[in-house]
């Protein structure tokens, strides 16, 4: 019996208060075999899981033992009526100073898979993160008949749902987030690669030969390295990173020679890997895949096994059978895996798919009572590409919520964001007008906008969007860069519908006009409902994506790219939702208090 099952059995049927405490400290660790300074939570990274029941009241206390300010954000948690506990400096609170404590209080209104992580600068990339699971009420409708109608199988699937395993997939640097920011600033480069990929804080550094690297380049990106391509005369770096040149780094000048070996070098390690134990007698295994990456978007697959995706960003969907799921930063995918293979150990892969780097990370899944190791048959290559046309990768456009409640057809306002690099390769903008400040301090961190909604900072239209309560809003992410990465956008507070996406210029004033011109690119009937929305990478043309949400939780929240270097470089905007109805702030959360 797992700790989660035990926790569930002792939970009360009615709402209770769950108290949880973390002590945040610098420590020394070697998650991938390379020793470096990192952040530990109660002595570990990832931090301990927060497992509660839907409807529980949460008290989450933080002691900041760092020599830096910090905050904690509960990723995907709506914070309905508790906007002061969202954990964003300059919006919902002042930072937690070194040596200080903070108490976050919120209600677990929604079931599903979430996570907590630092939200001060890019500290999450130093190890400050951990998983959250909110067990659904028994009254919640289940989607599992979309997997099987067999009563025995359904019973096994529902039992597996009560006994999940967390798989936090993270990329890892050999420098701290602060050092990486300084390197970007010094070299004027967008650093878009990592040293390794970790499963639950464990991994190793793989190093390929130049020939192996060339072979691993996915077919869609081989044109870049053709003799007449923009990188035809260059090789990837030792750690598989695309060359830093004027094609993907502008405006210049740039200084690639200033990149240290800790960023672009490769020294192979053979560190311990995570092993996930499963029992074939239980027929099904349930995994919560959590995208804790800073930069990369790996395709996660289990050799020889299918996956049934049944929830996305914490919310049930119509089940979708796949062999792989690409997980951009911040996103969560809950999967059921049928344990129908021969007893053995199978490779769990996280293979980044993107032009910016060729890199894979590994773990294992071991059947209980295994008799011998198996020859794992991979579904995806080292570069994250399907090994055959029969391999199915999750198409997020086809995700259908369960149950489905369509968005409103009419909206009250539309905001069109012109997203791109901003004045330097490593600086970014959402609005097209300014980069959201994060260094040396976060925007308005001494005068958070929740407390000062009429301040000069709160009325800066280059960085702030103000909405009215109980209205419907469309947000258009128009990525104007003609060659650039995907941007996994994350909206704090309530979820939004992904109603459209396309390639080319956005030339319309409203979504209604766009849908009339390109109806094939929109879905108003059963669009995905989630808190993470990744734009496509741009390759020769701009791209766009549209979300629609209902303003029903007044407060100051952030909308930002979850790639940590992009966020640190300014790719964020503040949403003052329902600004005319901001709630009264409890005395313990006054701007100079800490929740106690």
What string of H, E and C letters represents the secondary structure of 503-524?
ECCCCCCCHHHHHHHCHHHECC
Separation between Cα atoms, residue 61 and residue 23, nearest integer Å: 9
pLDDT at position 376 is 79
Position 244 pLDDT exceeds 60:
yes
Position 192 pLDDT exceeds 80:
yes
Which of these, 498, 511, 477, 495, lies nearest to 551 by C-alpha position?
495
Position 436 pLDDT exceeds 70:
yes
Q: Which residue is listed with tokens 């992009």? A: 566
Q: Kindly report, residue by residue over 265-278, the tens digit of the pLDDT.
A: 999 999 999 999 99
List, edge to edge, every strand of the sheet that includes 72-75.
Answer: 50-53, 129-135, 112-118, 72-75
Q: What is the CATH number of domain 413-589?
A: 2.60.40.420
The domain limits of the chain are: 3-141, 177-264, 275-398, 413-589
Q: How confident is the model at residue 588 (pLDDT cuts 50, 70, 90)?
A: very high
Buried b (16+ CB within 10 A) or exposed e, 521-541: bbbbebbbbbbbbbbebbeee
Structural Rg of the chain based on CA atoms: 23
**Element holding 102 (H helix, E strand):** strand 101-107
Which listed CATH number (2.60.40.420, 3.40.50.2300, 3.40.1190.20, 1.20.1740.10) goes with 3-141?
A: 2.60.40.420
Q: Which residue is listed with tokens 């079931």? A: 111
3-state secondary structure of 514: helix
Q: Kindly report, residue by residue over 461-496, the tens digit of the pLDDT.
A: 999 999 999 999 999 999 999 999 999 999 999 999
Architecture field, domain 275-398: Sandwich (2.60)
**Domains 3-141 and 413-589 agree in fold:** yes
Computed over every residue of the chain, the mean pLDDT equals: 96
**Element holding 264 (H helix, E strand):** helix 261-264
pTM of the model as a whole: 0.96
Residue 166 is classified by DSSP as: E
* pLDDT, average across residues 519-548: 98
As to burial, measured by CB atoms within 10 angstroms (0-12 exposed, 13-18 middle, 19+ buried), residue 295 is: buried
3-state secondary structure of 549: strand
Q: Kindly report, residue by residue over 376-406, the tens digit of the pLDDT.
A: 799 999 999 999 999 999 999 999 999 999 9
Q: How confident is the model at residue 374 (pLDDT cuts 50, 70, 90)?
A: low
CB 195, CB 34: distance < 8 Å: yes
Position 375 pLDDT exceeds 70:
no
* pLDDT, average across residues 573-596: 98
pLDDT at position 565 is 98
pLDDT at position 218 is 97
Separation between Cα atoms, residue 157 and residue 161, nearest integer Å: 6
């Amino acid at each position: 019996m797992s700790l989660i099952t035990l926790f569930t059995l002792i939970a009360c049927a009615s709402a209770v208060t769950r108290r949880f405490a973390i002590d945040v400290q610098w420590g020394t660790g070697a998650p991938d075999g390379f020793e470096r300074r990192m952040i530990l939570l109660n002595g570990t990274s990832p931090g301990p899981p927060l497992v509660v029941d839907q409807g529980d009241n949460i008290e989450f206390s933080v002691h900041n033992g760092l020599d830096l300010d910090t905050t904690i954000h509960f990723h995907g948690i709506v914070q309905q009526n508790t906007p002061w506990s969202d954990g964003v400096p300059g919006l919902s609170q002042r930072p937690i100073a070194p040596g200080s404590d903070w108490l976050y209080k919120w209600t677990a209104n929604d079931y599903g898979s979430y996570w907590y992580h630092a939200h001060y600068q890019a500290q999450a990339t130093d190890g400050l993160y951990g998983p959250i699971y909110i067990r659904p009420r028994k009254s919640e409708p289940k989607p599992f008949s979309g997997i099987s109608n067999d009563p025995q199988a359904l019973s096994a699937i529902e039992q597996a749902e009560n006994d999940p395993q967390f798989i936090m997939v993270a990329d890892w640097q050999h420098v701290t987030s602060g050092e990486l920011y300084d390197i970007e600033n010094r070299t004027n480069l967008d650093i878009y690669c990592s040293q390794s990929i970790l499963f639950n804080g464990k991994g190793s550094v793989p190093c390929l030969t130049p020939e192996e690297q060339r072979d691993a380049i996915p077919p869609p990106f081989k044109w870049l390295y053709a003799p007449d391509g923009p990188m035809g005369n260059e090789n990837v770096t030792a750690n598989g990173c695309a060359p830093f040149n004027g094609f993907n780094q502008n405006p210049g000048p740039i200084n690639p020679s200033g990149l240290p070996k800790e960023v672009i070098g490769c020294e192979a390690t053979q560190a311990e890997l995570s092993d996930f134990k499963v029992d074939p007698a239980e027929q099904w295994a349930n995994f919560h895949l959590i995208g804790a990456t800073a930069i990369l978007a790996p395709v996660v697959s289990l050799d020889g096994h299918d996956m049934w995706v049944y929830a996305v960003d914490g919310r049930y969907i119509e089940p979708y059978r796949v062999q792989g799921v690409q997980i951009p930063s911040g996103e969560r995918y809950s999967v059921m895996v049928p344990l129908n293979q021969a007893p053995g150990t199978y490779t769990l892969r996280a293979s980044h798919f993107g032009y910016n780097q060729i890199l894979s990370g590994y773990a294992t899944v071991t059947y209980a009572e295994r008799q011998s190791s198996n020859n794992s048959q991979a579904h995806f290559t080292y570069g994250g590409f399907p090994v055959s046309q029969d391999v199915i990768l999750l198409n997020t456009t086809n995700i259908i919520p369960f149950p489905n409640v369509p968005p409103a057809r009419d909206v009250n306002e539309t905001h069109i964001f012109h997203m791109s690099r901003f004045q330097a390769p490593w600086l970014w903008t959402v609005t097209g007008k300014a980069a959201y400040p994060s260094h040396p301090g976060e925007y308005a961190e001494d005068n958070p906008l929740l407390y000062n909604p009429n301040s000069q900072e709160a009325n800066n239209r280059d960085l702030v969007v103000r909405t009215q309560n109980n209205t419907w809003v469309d947000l258009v992410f128009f990525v104007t860069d003609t060659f650039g990465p995907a941007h996994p956008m994350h909206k704090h507070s309530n979820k939004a519908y992904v109603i459209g996406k396309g390639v080319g210029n956005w030339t319309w004033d409203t979504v209604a006009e766009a849908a009339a011109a390109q109806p094939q690119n929109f879905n108003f009937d059963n669009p995905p409902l989630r808190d993470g929305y990744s734009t496509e990478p741009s390759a020769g043309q701009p791209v766009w994506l549209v979300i629609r949400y209902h303003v029903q939780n007044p407060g100051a929240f952030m909308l930002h790219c979850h790639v940590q270097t992009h966020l640190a470089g300014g790719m964020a905007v503040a949403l003052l939702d329902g600004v005319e109805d901001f709630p009264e702030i409890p005395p313990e959360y006054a701007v100079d208090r800490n929740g106690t």
